[in-house]
Structure 1
Amino acid sequence: MLMFCPTCANTLGVEEGLNCLRFSCNTCPYIYNISRHMGIKIYPKLKEVDDVLGGAAAWDNVDSTEERCPKCSHPRAYFMQIQTRSADEPMTTFYKCCNHQCGHRWRE
């Protein structure tokens, strides 16, 4: 919890006083002794992560090619190309094995 000085509206710092901790202002003589535990934990709500490659639906309308799967050696694989780097770099080709029991994914 961030505390502000009621006199000058600057943020208060915590320092050690006589037998206790206290809030003190760095620009004016305001001091407030802390007599009890003061604190609140607020956890931010995290944004949901979007799948960069479009999720499972991205593979619905793709073509297949003669690319051998490195895992099961199936002779065909689905593929799609996505620009993952700057425009002067070549596109990245993503593959998914056509063997539905394997489904291995890799890229070039």
Structure 2
Amino acid sequence: MEFCPTCGSMLMIELPNMGHATRFYCTTCPYVCPIERGVKIKRKQILFRKGIDPVISSDDMKNAPTTEVPCPNCRHDKAAYKEVQTRSADEPATLFFKCLNVKCGHNWREG
């Protein structure tokens, strides 16, 4: 998508016609720009991944209430849970669980 350097409107494309090459033209002002065959990279942007912060930290689960729910990883029957409203108010809350088995410690969610 290209924009007019004069007025800022979005440029339209005009196919070859009556002796002129394919070109961009502005519908608002008289700006015309021929399209060259090669592709030019106008600006290079280095992209990097941001770190993802956990919704529930291990500190949140230390004093959390427990319930009898089987762990999907080790089938231990007790887990700590925390209820968090992650979506809009008219949607149900999300339950985050942490297995209380010392060897497992698996985290999962429902909802």
Which category describes the TM-score, using the shorter chain as reference length?
0.5 to 0.7
- Output aligned runs, 1:7-86, within 5 Å: 9=7, 10-17=9-16, 18=19, 20-40=21-41, 48=50, 50-51=52-53, 53-59=55-61, 61-71=62-72, 72-86=74-88
Overall identity of the aligned pairs, in %: 33
State the TM-score, normalizing by the size of structure 2: 0.56
Return the alpha-carbon distance in structure 1 between the equivalents of residues 3 and 93 of structure 2: 52
- 2:102 aligned partner: 100
**Secondary structure, aligned partner of 1:63:** coil
Alpha-carbon distance, 1:67 to partner: 1.3
Tell me the CA shift for residue 98 of structure 1.
0.8
- Residue 65 of structure 1 and its aligned partner are, at CA, apart by 2.1
Which structure 1 residue ranges, 4+ long, deviate > 6 Å from structure 2?
Answer: none
3-state SS of the aligned residue for 2:82? strand
How far apart in 1 are the matches of 2:71 and 2:29?
70
Structure 2: segments with no counterpart, 5+ residues = none
Give, in whole Å, the separation in 1 of the partners of 2:33 and 2:92: 62
Hey, which of these two has a bigger chunk of strand by percent? 1
Aligned residues: 105
Q: In structure 1, how many angstroms separate the alpha carbons of the residues matched to 2:88 and 2:26?
A: 50
Which sits farther off after the overlay, 35-44 or 77-86? 35-44
Within 1, Cα distance between the matches of 2:40 and 2:31? Answer: 21
Counterpart CA distance in 2 for 1:87 and 1:30 is: 50
